[in-house]
């Protein structure tokens, strides 16, 4: 018989239910059963006056067990479990620490008392998984914090500190963080019993004391903000519908909505994304990461200063290297600017920032990098310059130092060729702005050691970034796919789609921005010059021609107030007939067949281009798994999280359909543009 993850213990007149179900004490079927059995047994024991629910190891219950969501719900269902806890005839006390989330918070809300360590985080993050709370969260929370606050908490899915909720009667006692929670909880419960204060406070029996004044406006605003995500809107509408209902009626409606979202495509995509992010950080390497404390960054431009800001914000010592004092001044100004923006937005206090900046030193002398554990080069994309830098690093850095380049396109094997210990060389490809964007591509070159790779991935974790391991090729995984996506977008322009039609179709589908608006923002010349450094694919006569036209016409994007859009009168950009004309003339000259486009065709073609390139990357062994590609697109390129990522979309569309559409494209444009792919690589 398998051992139950829920144990019972009696300490005089206190019954203690302990959940010990690593890693995060999620509410699997066995935990739910153990809770029900535990309450039943302790209730029937006359010597027991009060019950504590506590958790072993790292956290109080972090939620329902996400792994169970793909299969049929098993009894006892969580709503029945929480109702059973609330119905207990003996007072039940939740002893909370770590993260008490989703179903875990719902268990705590059903307890009659809640005590916690001061650094506990609580919340209902179900919307992040495309769900709503399904075990009374939408019904009990408003009875404690009011409907307005509950609306914010349920639809926003954020984690809340004790301080953030201090104005509500959520916690009956809060203990100093780091103190002995078990000891304090037992003392608290003993005092309750000794003083005869064992009132059974059932949240479900309390009234809701407020309402949202204008539900329609609130739901309208939320619908707009959610950009196609269903769960927050469903949650808000449910709160509205149930505001005057009893807990039983409210929970019945809540359960119906929860179960319907549980089988939705959006929830499947969001749950997939949750798992994919955690899988991406795993490699098959046994090597242990080196300890990294001091990091050298070469180059204080936009990218370099963002990287410095990211390292400082995570407590590393940083040495910034620039060519001269002016370069250092400009770099430190940018770093200060990044930190000031954080202070202004309330993300950091000035005292925190002062602490971070105290760990920054600057120098124009590479010798000062001699004791660094890691150096990240972030200068402009020029192979000769990078080789010179790396051969210097090879001389000045200690032998164990990891030497990383932030190049977006260049061949890291060639960079490593000038270094005495090429096994120390890797790519750490940050995304701009590096202090904000979560993605980090860790690039393993031919000779990179496993230790260098795992060290970079461990550093990424310390930086609170999501790292994905990729191999060397032009653009690595993300930018190589972005080039293929861009090619398709440009081709559609040549075939008669308008700039705003393409952008709008993709934004309506869920992309954070249209690709042409992105081009204008980052500068059309950047992509053009990177591509001009590569041989032109003669088989593709329209290859990025619209972008070439823009650059030749001096339309580089926002920085010249004109690109694919015109920014002279409107900072958000307006369609410009001149652009349409330039592209149309080019199409005629190239004799490109015209067609009419609808949104579906635009999205499908852009997506299929991504899927096709993703399958190539898998075949070439550039990425470890299809889900890694999705993580890259979710965190580096504004792919809608509730659509899971391009490869997740491929699995939704199905291998057969993908194969059929790709062969149609291959038949019309040729196998050089739409190569044969192995659709069995779709998971």
> Of 38 and 98, which has the nearer Cβ to ligand 3HC?
98
* Choice among 106, 257, 377, 441 that is catalytic: 106
> Of 63 and 331, which has the nearer Cβ to ligand 3HC?
63
Determine which residue in the list 99, 267, 483, 491 makes contact with ligand 3HC, applying CB under 6 A: 99
Determine which residue in the list 40, 225, 227, 278 makes contact with ligand 3HC, applying CB under 6 A: 278
* Choice among 41, 43, 126, 197 that is catalytic: 126
Catalytic status, residue 126? yes
**4-63 positions binding ligand 3HC, by CB under 6 A:** 23-24, 26, 62-63
Whether 626 contacts 647, CB under 8 Å: yes
β-pair type (121-123, 159-161): antiparallel
Residue 174: which H helix or E strand, with range? strand 173-175
Using the rule CB under 6 A, is 72 a contact of ligand 3HC? no
Determine which residue in the list 6, 19, 101, 518 makes contact with ligand 3HC, applying CB under 6 A: 101
Using the rule CB under 6 A, is 103 a contact of ligand 3HC? yes
Handedness of CA 647, 648, 650, 655 (dihedral sign): positive
Determine which residue in the list 39, 135, 468, 493 makes contact with ligand 3HC, applying CB under 6 A: 135
User: Given the rule CB under 6 A, which of 44-52, 95-103, 317-325, 522-530 is the region that contacts ligand 3HC?
Assistant: 95-103
Strand partners, 334: none
> Of 109 and 499, which has the nearer Cβ to ligand 3HC?
109
User: Given the rule CB under 6 A, which of 64-72, 202-210, 307-315, 434-442 is the region that contacts ligand 3HC?
Assistant: 64-72
End-to-end CA distance of the chain: 34
Show the tokens assigned to 128. 């992040």
Using the rule CB under 6 A, is 527 a contact of ligand 3HC? no
Of 307, 544, 548, which is closest to residue 406 (Cα–Cα)? Answer: 307
Determine which residue in the list 52, 107, 129, 376 makes contact with ligand 3HC, applying CB under 6 A: 129
Using the rule CB under 6 A, is 134 a contact of ligand 3HC? yes
Residue 282, CA distances (Å) to 279, 343, 405 in order: 5, 34, 22
Which burial class, exposed, middle or buried, applies to 146 when counting CB atoms under 10 A from its CB (0-12, 13-18, 19+)?
middle
Catalytic status, residue 68? no
Q: Residues 6 or more apart from 160 whose CB is under 8 A from it?
A: 121, 122, 123, 153
Q: What's the min distance (Å) between Cβ of 437 and ligand 3HC?
A: 19
DSSP H helices, 281-377, are 302-313, 325-344, 350-357
Residue 365, CA distances (Å) to 298, 320, 324, 392, 657 in order: 11, 10, 9, 11, 58
What gap in Å lies between CA 618 and CA 490, rounded to an integer?
Answer: 25
Using the rule CB under 6 A, is 137 a contact of ligand 3HC? yes
Q: What's the min distance (Å) between Cβ of 134 and ligand 3HC?
A: 3
What gap in Å lies between CA 292 and CA 458, rounded to an integer?
Answer: 9
Q: What is the CA radius of gyration of the chain?
A: 28
3-state secondary structure (DSSP) of residue 49: coil
Using the rule CB under 6 A, is 65 a contact of ligand 3HC? yes
How many other CB atoms are there within 10 angstroms of residue 542's CB atom?
17
Q: What's the min distance (Å) between Cβ of 317 and ligand 3HC?
A: 25
Using the rule CB under 6 A, is 300 a contact of ligand 3HC? no
Q: Residues 6 or more apart from 432 whose CB is under 8 A from it?
A: 302, 303, 306, 522
Using the rule CB under 6 A, is 273 a contact of ligand 3HC? no
3-state secondary structure (DSSP) of residue 234: helix
**333-372 positions binding ligand 3HC, by CB under 6 A:** none
What gap in Å lies between CA 326 and CA 286, rounded to an integer?
Answer: 44
Using the rule CB under 6 A, is 67 a contact of ligand 3HC? yes
Residue 663, CA distances (Å) to 118, 454, 612, 614, 677 in order: 59, 39, 11, 16, 10
Determine which residue in the list 64, 145, 401, 404 makes contact with ligand 3HC, applying CB under 6 A: 64
**Contact track, ligand 3HC, 477-516, x by CB under 6 A:** ----------------------------------------
What gap in Å lies between CA 625 and CA 635, rounded to an integer?
Answer: 16
> Of 24 and 615, which has the nearer Cβ to ligand 3HC?
24
Determine which residue in the list 25, 42, 117, 126 makes contact with ligand 3HC, applying CB under 6 A: 126
Using the rule CB under 6 A, is 624 a contact of ligand 3HC? no
> Of 23 and 621, which has the nearer Cβ to ligand 3HC?
23
> Of 379 and 466, which has the nearer Cβ to ligand 3HC?
466
Length of the chain measured in residues: 683
What gap in Å lies between CA 414 and CA 416, rounded to an integer?
Answer: 5
Using the rule CB under 6 A, is 284 a contact of ligand 3HC? no
Whether 606 contacts 488, CB under 8 Å: yes
> Of 78 and 551, which has the nearer Cβ to ligand 3HC?
78
> Of 23 and 535, which has the nearer Cβ to ligand 3HC?
23
Using the rule CB under 6 A, is 133 a contact of ligand 3HC? yes
> Of 90 and 641, which has the nearer Cβ to ligand 3HC?
641
> Of 14 and 24, which has the nearer Cβ to ligand 3HC?
24
Show the tokens assigned to 209. 């004391």
Using the rule CB under 6 A, is 125 a contact of ligand 3HC? yes
Q: What's the min distance (Å) between Cβ of 152 and ligand 3HC?
A: 17
How many other CB atoms are there within 10 angstroms of residue 198's CB atom?
14
Total of residues contacting ligand 3HC (CB under 6 A):
24
User: Given the rule CB under 6 A, which of 49-57, 100-108, 502-510, 586-594 is the region that contacts ligand 3HC?
Assistant: 100-108
* DSSP secondary structure letters along 469-523: EEE-STTTTHHHHHHHHHHHHHHHHHTT--HHHHHHHHHHHT-SS-HHHHHHHH-
> Of 50 and 111, which has the nearer Cβ to ligand 3HC?
111
Using the rule CB under 6 A, is 71 a contact of ligand 3HC? no
Q: Map tokens 């001061």 to a residue.
A: 118
> Of 110 and 661, which has the nearer Cβ to ligand 3HC?
110
Using the rule CB under 6 A, is 415 a contact of ligand 3HC? no
Whether 205 contacts 121, CB under 8 Å: no
β-pair type (173-175, 113-117): parallel
Determine which residue in the list 34, 102, 289, 640 makes contact with ligand 3HC, applying CB under 6 A: 102
Whether 298 contacts 376, CB under 8 Å: yes
Show the tokens assigned to 284. 């098959």
Secondary structure letter of residue 457 according to DSSP: H
Q: What's the min distance (Å) between Cβ of 129 and ligand 3HC?
A: 5
Q: Which residue numbers are catalytic? A: 106, 126
Q: Which residues bind ligand 3HC (CB under 6 A)?
A: 23-24, 26, 62-67, 78, 99, 101-103, 106, 125-126, 129, 131, 133-135, 137, 278
């Amino acid at each position: 018989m398998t051992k139950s993850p829920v144990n019972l213990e009696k300490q005089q007149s206190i019954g203690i239910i302990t959940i010990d179900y690593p890693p995060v004490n999620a509410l699997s079927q066995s935990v739910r059963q153990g809770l029900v059995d535990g309450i039943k047994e302790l209730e029937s024991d006359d010597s027991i006056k009060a019950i504590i629910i506590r958790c072993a190891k790292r956290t109080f219950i972090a939620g329902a067990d996400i792994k169970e969501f793909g299969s049929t719900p098993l009894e006892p269902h969580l709503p029945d479990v929480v109702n059973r806890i609330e119905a207990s005839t003996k007072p039940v006390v939740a002893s909370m620490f770590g993260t008490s989330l989703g179903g875990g918070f719902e268990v705590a809300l059903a307890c009659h008392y809640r005590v916690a360590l001061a650094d506990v985080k609580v919340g209902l993050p179900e919307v992040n998984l495309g769900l709503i709370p399904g075990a009374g969260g939408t019904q009990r929370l408003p009875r404690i914090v009011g409907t307005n606050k509950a609306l914010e908490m349920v639809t926003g899915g954020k984690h809340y500190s004790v301080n953030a909720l201090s104005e509500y009667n959520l916690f009956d006692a809060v203990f100093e963080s780091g103190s002995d929670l078990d000891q304090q909880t037992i003392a608290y419960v003993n005092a309750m019993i000794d003083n005869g204060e064992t009132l059974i406070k059932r949240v479900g029996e309390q009234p809701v004391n407020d309402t949202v004044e204008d539900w329609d406006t609130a739901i309208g605003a939320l619908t707009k903000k959610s950009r196609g995500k269903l769960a927050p809107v469903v949650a808000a509408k449910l709160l509205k519908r149930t505001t005057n209902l009893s807990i039983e009626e409210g929970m019945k409606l809540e359960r119906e909505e929860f179960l319907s979202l549980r089988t939705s495509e959006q929830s499947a995509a969001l749950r997939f994304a949750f798992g994919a992010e955690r899988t991406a950080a795993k490699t098959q390497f046994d090597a242990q990461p080196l300890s990294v404390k001091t990091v050298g960054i070469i180059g204080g431009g936009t990218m370099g200063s963002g990287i410095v800001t990211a390292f400082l914000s995570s407590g590393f010592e940083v040495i910034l290297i620039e060519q001269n004092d002016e370069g250092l001044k400009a770099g430190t100004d940018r770093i200060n600017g990044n930190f000031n923006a954080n202070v202004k937005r309330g993300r950091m206090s000035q005292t925190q920032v002062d602490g971070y900046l105290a760990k920054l030193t600057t120098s124009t002398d590479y010798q000062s990098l001699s004791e660094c554990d890691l150096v990240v080069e972030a200068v402009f994309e020029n192979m000769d310059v990078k080789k010179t830098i790396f051969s210097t690093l090879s001389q000045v850095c200690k032998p164990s130092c990891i030497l990383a380049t932030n190049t977006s396109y260049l061949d890291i094997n060639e960079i490593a060729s000038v270094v005495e210990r090429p096994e120390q060389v890797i790519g750490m490809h940050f995304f701009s702005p590096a202090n904000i964007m979560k993605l980090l591509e860790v690039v393993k070159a031919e000779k990179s050691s496993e230790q260098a790779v795992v060290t970079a991935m461990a550093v990424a974790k310390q930086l609170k970034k999501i790292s994905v391991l990729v191999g060397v090729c032009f653009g690595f995984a993300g930018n190589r796919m972005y080039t293929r996506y861009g090619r398709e977008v440009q081709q559609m322009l040549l075939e008669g789609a308008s700039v705003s039609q393409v952008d709008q179709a993709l934004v309506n589908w869920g992309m954070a921005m249209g690709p042409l608006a992105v081009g204008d923002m980052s500068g059309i010349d950047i992509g053009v010059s990177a591509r001009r450094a590569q041989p032109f694919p003669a088989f593709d006569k329209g290859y990025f021609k619209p972008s070439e036209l823009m650059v030749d016409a001096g339309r580089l994007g926002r920085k010249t107030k004109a690109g694919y859009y015109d920014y002279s009168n409107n900072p958000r950009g307006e369609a410009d007939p001149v652009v349409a004309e330039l592209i149309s003339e080019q199409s005629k000259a190239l004799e490109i067949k015209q067609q009419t486009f609808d949104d579906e065709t635009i999205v499908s073609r852009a997506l299929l281009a991504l899927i096709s390139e993703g399958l190539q990357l898998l075949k070439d062994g550039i990425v470890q798994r299809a889900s890694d590609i999705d993580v890259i697109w979710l965190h580096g390129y504004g792919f809608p999280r509730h659509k899971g990522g391009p490869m997740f979309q491929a699995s939704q569309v199905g291998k057969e359909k993908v194969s059929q559409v790709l062969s149609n494209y291959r038949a019309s444009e040729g196998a050089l543009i739409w190569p044969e792919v192995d659709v069995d690589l779709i998971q």
